[in-house]
Amino acid sequence: MRTLLPLLATALLLGTSAQAAGARSDGITEVPSFGSDPGNLRMLEYVPDGLAEGSPVVVALHGCGQNATGYGVDSGWVELAQRLGFALVLPEQRGINNYNGCFNWFQSADTTRGWGEVASIASMVEHTVTGTGADPSRVYVTGLSAGGGMTAAVLATYPERFAGGGVVAGLPYRCASALYEAYTCMNPGKDLTPEQWGDRVRAASPHTGPWPTMTVWHGDADYTVSVANQRELVEQWTDVHGTDTTPDRTGTVAGYPHAVYTDDRGSSVVETVTVTGMGHGQPVDPGTGTTRCGHTAAHMLDVDACTAWYLADTWNLT
């Protein structure tokens, strides 16, 4: 039975500052029937005109107090889907499931394979891949805050369906399995060993690899979801990939510290970008130009770097 969680109204992740997407559609359409929906989510979708068969798919998960259309547009994902040629899946939470519109990344019933919200998102992916003739080996998922926590959950529970993921200001899989644990996970964060974190992913599905790649963007001045969660995500996903937590390459992305962790073949499996001085939100870079995208809005922060574009580039969609 789905549970209403009014306690989240003022505290859990993005607070109550909803984006005023209003009647904007920007070519986004609702898919009223997409298959099994045990999580009772809405499915919205943006498919560019003339999209070729064999194109990629990106799933983008909004944060609390946001909606699918507002997040898809303001993060830059809609314009990139049109510009680069991929299908965009935009799941949306319903108020009956969560008072503040948060994906329930902290509830075991919604983060267990075959159950709840992760199963609904997996159904959306299957519907879009089948309906557009997309390449099932080029499916990616990303999300902000609660959407970032759900991104980690989807990757853990359905790793065979995704080539990679991008967590923005989010949390490791199964940092919490009930509401009472969520606040501590957010800040100061939960400190486990890499193996303990990795075991939580390995226990989430019968999958034995290969595993999706993981990229983590986080502001180092984030006091809502502590940047310590970036470190714990690195520990979780490097352990899953069988590598260590020492970066193999370091540098910058858009002027911000960037670290890359590689497997024994030298392939990048985990990456981080730490946005210095940034609080809680999604990096955007409004304007024209190849690497620029997004719009400023609540928790859409102009830091001269559009995370959506850099993720698309990491996933070879550019």
- Catalytic residue numbers? 145
What span, in angstroms and rounded, lies between the C-alpha atoms of 275 and 302? 11
Peptide bond into 188 cis (omega under 30): yes
> Contact, 24 vs 44, CB < 8 A?
no
> Contact, 182 vs 176, CB < 8 A?
yes
> Contact, 264 vs 214, CB < 8 A?
no
Strand-pairing partners, residue 60, are 142
Report residue 169 as tokens: 């200001």
Residue matched to tokens 């997004």: 294
